Every structure is written in structure tokens, then in C-alpha cells.
Chain A
Amino acid sequence: MTAQQIIFLIAAIYTLASGVLTVTSRNLIHAAFWLISAFFGVAAIYALLNANFIAIVQIVVYVGAIAILFIFAVMLTRRDLRVSEHRLNKGWQIGAALAAALFVGMVSMLAQWSGFTKTADAFPTQFDAVGALGEALTSPNAYVLPFEVASALLLAALVGAVYVAFNPRADENSEAQK
């Protein structure tokens, strides 16, 4: 076993264990912290795949922004800090069976694919992946249109989130109290 394989196995087991704890923790705050830990594990996997920029973006966007948003939402919506008695719904066995069946199905289907055990060529040392990614995102011959559509989507999500979460009655109440 090479060092790379050992690092992969550690990162993979860490990510999967964090993921399982995320979906089974009784306390939602604990679940949010396990989710952050799973994001770090995925960032380690990206680094192993020579996608350094994606690994950094994973930490900045997921851990830095999305996870903090989750923790805010958990803290803003909990009535009390006690743990609710039922964290899973009644049909959780069906969900578990579906997830297990999907995993077995995906792996058995992939096992028949000829490229499944392919190994990567050595990463070319002079190749500037970040520069190539930047060019791909801004070149009209490549992905500038999806990039712009993504920015429009983010703007629409921003406006939509503000509109949905905005509470007109809160202003009236605070003015009435004055």
C-alpha cells in the first residue's frame, strides 16, 4: 500500500463516519459540526485528486459560508435547547433500505464498467490547473455562459431569500410598540 492510498483511506473513513454521524446525531448542533467535519474530509479528497483550487473553495464556501448559515438556522429555529425525542420519522427503515439498495445497485453497476479500475496518469508538473480553470470559466469558447447563468442564479437566490424571509408584520409590531 502506498502512502497515497493510506491517506485516501483515512480521509474516506473520516468523511463517511462524519456523514453517518451527521444524519444520526440527536442534537442538531452536533449534526452541524459533524457536517463541517465531513466537508473537511471532502476537501482532503479534492487535494488528493490534485484539485487544489477546488479544495480551498470547498473550505471557504462550504465550511466558511454554508455551514455558518446552517448553524444560524439551527439556532434561530429551535424552541428549546433540549433534544427532541424522535429524530427520525416512522418509515426510517424504508429509507435505510432504499439507501442501501441504491448503494449496492450503483456499485454492482459500476463494477461491470471497464474503466472502473483505471488508474490516473501522473499529474503533469508544468500544467497550471488553476490558470486553465480560470480560462475555461471566462473563455467564450468554453464555459462563460454557464458561469454567467450561475451568477444570475445566485442573484435570484439572494433576492428570493430576502423576500421569503422578510417579515412585514415585524416592522408594524415594533412601530406599534413605540
Chain B
Amino acid sequence: MIPLSWYLILAAALFCVGLFGMLTRRNVVAILFGIELMLNAVNINLVSFWRYGEITSMSGQVFTIIVFAVAAAEVSVGLALVISAYRRRNTIVADELDMLKW
């Protein structure tokens, strides 16, 4: 049998890979890739705690479904913002999108 620690370490590693991508990529779409990896890592945690805890209470899977919905909403709004910013500024490099800087 696989101990719970393997899943948790995998999720922690995937989360940190996503965090690295989110912090360091210059392209806004690539930053969203990093956020998706982080959300997936969280989902692995939720499902593994469901499997290793009380199976009959479905909380872990329900939360995973909610995270799916939130991820879909986040991606659709994020990409709409990216396309809107690209149309106005003709760039999607995060350093150059500095309209809020003063």
C-alpha cells in the first residue's frame, strides 16, 4: 500500500513547481499555467485526504469539484483580461503591463 506521505510530498512538490512558474515567468499566460499547477496540487491533497480519511463522507471530492469550478472561472476571466490587455497594450509580458504603477 502507498503511504499518505507519498501523495502529500507529490502535491507539495507540484505546488512548489507551480509557485516557481507563477513567480518567475514573464508571460502572463505562463503565470496562469503556474496557477493551474498549484490548483492541481491542492486537488491531489484533497482527494488523498478523502481516500485516507473517512471514505463515506464525500467532503474531499466535493471540495475538489468546487475547486474545478473555481479554476474554470479563474481561467476564463484571466484569459479575457489577458486578451483585453493585449488588445490595448500589444504585449502580455507582465513587466510591461504597469498601468497600475505610479
Instruction: List residues of chain A with CB under 8 Å of any chain B CB.
Output: 2, 4-5, 8, 12, 15-16, 19-20, 22-23, 28, 31-32, 35, 38-39, 42, 45-46, 48-51, 53-54, 57-58, 61-62, 65-66, 69-70, 72-74, 76-77, 79, 84, 86-89, 91-92, 94-96, 98-100, 102-103, 106-107, 110-111, 115-121, 123-124, 127, 129, 132-133, 135-137, 142-143, 146-147, 150-151, 153-154, 156-158, 160-162, 164-165, 167
Number of residues from B at the complex interface, CB < 8 A: 72
Interface residues of B (CB under 8 A from A): 1-10, 12-21, 23-27, 29-30, 32-34, 36-37, 40, 43-44, 47-48, 50-52, 55-56, 58-59, 61-62, 64-66, 68-77, 79-84, 86-87, 90, 92-95
Partner of A57, one of B14, B40, B65: B65
Q: A19-B14, A28-B27, A87-B30 are in contact. Are A49 and B21 (CB under 8 A)?
A: no
CA distance A66 to B73 in the complex (A): 10
Cross-chain contact B55 with A123 (CB below 8 angstroms) = yes
Q: Contacts A54-B47, A99-B20 given: A23-B58 contact, CB under 8 Å?
A: no
Which A residues are in CB contact (< 8 Å) with B87?
167
Tell me the total A-B contact number using a CB cutoff of 8 A.
255
Asked if residues A69 and B75 are in contact (CB atoms below 8 Å), the reply is yes
User: What residues on A are CB-neighbors of B72 within 8 Å?
Assistant: 61, 65-66, 154, 157
Q: A8-B6, A136-B58 are in contact. List 12 more A-B contacts (CB 8 A).
A: A28-B27, A28-B29, A66-B72, A95-B24, A99-B19, A103-B16, A106-B16, A124-B55, A133-B58, A147-B66, A150-B70, A161-B76
